A and B are shown apart, each in its own frame.
Chain A
Amino acid sequence: MSDVTVTRATPQGMVTLKLPPGDVAWGPALAALGLSVPAVRRLERAGDRAALWMAPDEVLLLVPDPAAALAALAGPLAGAHHLAADVGAARVVFAVAGPRAREVLAKLCPVDLHPAAFPAGSARRTRAAQVACMLWAEAADDLRLSCFRSVEGYVADLLTLSADPAGSVGLFRA
Chain B
Amino acid sequence: MLMLVCPYCGVTAEETEFAPGGEAHLSRVGPDGSDEAFEAYLFARANPKGVHLERWRHAYGCGKWFLAARCTATLEVFGTYPAQSKGPPPAVLDRIADRRGAGAAARVGRGAPDAS
Contacts and interface: CB of A to CB of B under 8 A. Distances in A.
Interface of A: 40-41, 54-56, 58, 110-111, 124-127, 132
A55 B62 CA distance: 5
B33 interface: no
Contacts of A41: 9-11
A55 B60 contact: no
Contact of B17 (A54, A55, A58, A127): A127
14 contacts: A40-B9, A41-B9, A55-B8, A55-B61, A55-B64, A58-B63, A110-B14, A110-B17, A111-B13, A124-B9, A125-B61, A126-B13, A126-B61, A132-B60
A56 B61 contact: no
Given A40-B10, A55-B64, A110-B13, 14 more contacts: A40-B9, A41-B11, A55-B9, A55-B61, A55-B63, A56-B8, A56-B62, A56-B64, A58-B63, A110-B14, A110-B16, A125-B60, A125-B61, A125-B63
B28 to A, nearest CB: 24
Interface of B: 8-11, 13-14, 16-17, 60-64
A110 B59 CA distance: 13
Chain B: interface secondary structure? loop
A125 B14 CA distance: 13
Nearest to B8: A56
Contacts of B16: 110, 127
B38 to A, nearest CB: 33
User: Interface on chain A toward B: helix, strand, loop, or mixed SS?
Assistant: strand
A46 B73 CA distance: 49
Contacts of A125: 60-63
Contact of A127 (B60, B62, B64): B60
B3 to A, nearest CB: 10
Nearest to A111: B13
A124 B17 CA distance: 12
Nearest to A127: B60
Contacts of A111: 13
Contacts of A54: 62
A124 B61 CA distance: 7
Nearest to A126: B60
Contacts of A55: 8-9, 61-64
B9 A126 contact: no
B106 to A, nearest CB: 32
Contacts of B61: 55, 124-126
